[in-house]
Amino acid sequence: MSSPDSRPLVLILCTGNSCRSQMAEVILRKAAGDVLRVESAGSDPSGYVHPLAVKAVSDIGLNLSEGRSKNLEEFLNEQVETVITVCGNASQVCPTFPGQMRRYHWGFDDPAHATGTEEEQYAVFLRVRDEIDRVFSAYGLGRVDQAARS
């Protein structure tokens, strides 16, 4: 396998980088193993990772407790191979990165806007997590298969 510095960088973008892109980052990182370098960022970062996002991924054995809401500007000088936006707002403001080969938009509801009791809000986080898990796990496994054939 490639050294960590030479792995293709996949950047997952959202507006606030507090929920969807954070969950997608840890899910894709697990699915892709050491084939990809996976990061997430926001066009207008919230400055925190939503506690219900942390809890939702911990329920499937992933750790987001050390997650940090990052600004996409941190990656402007990086060789980003693939950009994946998970909200429409980020898709509209997404810059083109040097060397960028692929760009995808896979939109998901924003669980941070869920209303009701904490239990009702958490149910929305779980639904969105499961949707993200299906899409990003499949993508990650596909990239692993692609790397194995190369």
- Amino acid (one-letter) located at 142: G
94, 114, 128, 135: the active-site residue:
94
Task: Encode pLDDT of 122-145 as tens digits.
Answer: 999 999 999 999 999 999 999 999
10, 14, 26, 135: the active-site residue:
14
Give yes or no: 14 in active site.
yes
Give the chain's domains with CATH numbers.
Answer: 4-149 (3.40.50.2300)
| pTM for the full predicted model | 0.91
pLDDT at residue 139 in the model:
98
Q: Alpha-carbon Rg of the chain, whole angstroms?
A: 15
Judged against a pLDDT cut of 50, whether residue 1 lies above it is answered with no
Task: Encode pLDDT of 22-48 as tens digits.
Answer: 999 999 999 999 999 999 999 889 999
Give yes or no: 19 in active site.
no
CA distance 53 to 128: 10
Give yes or no: 87 in active site.
yes
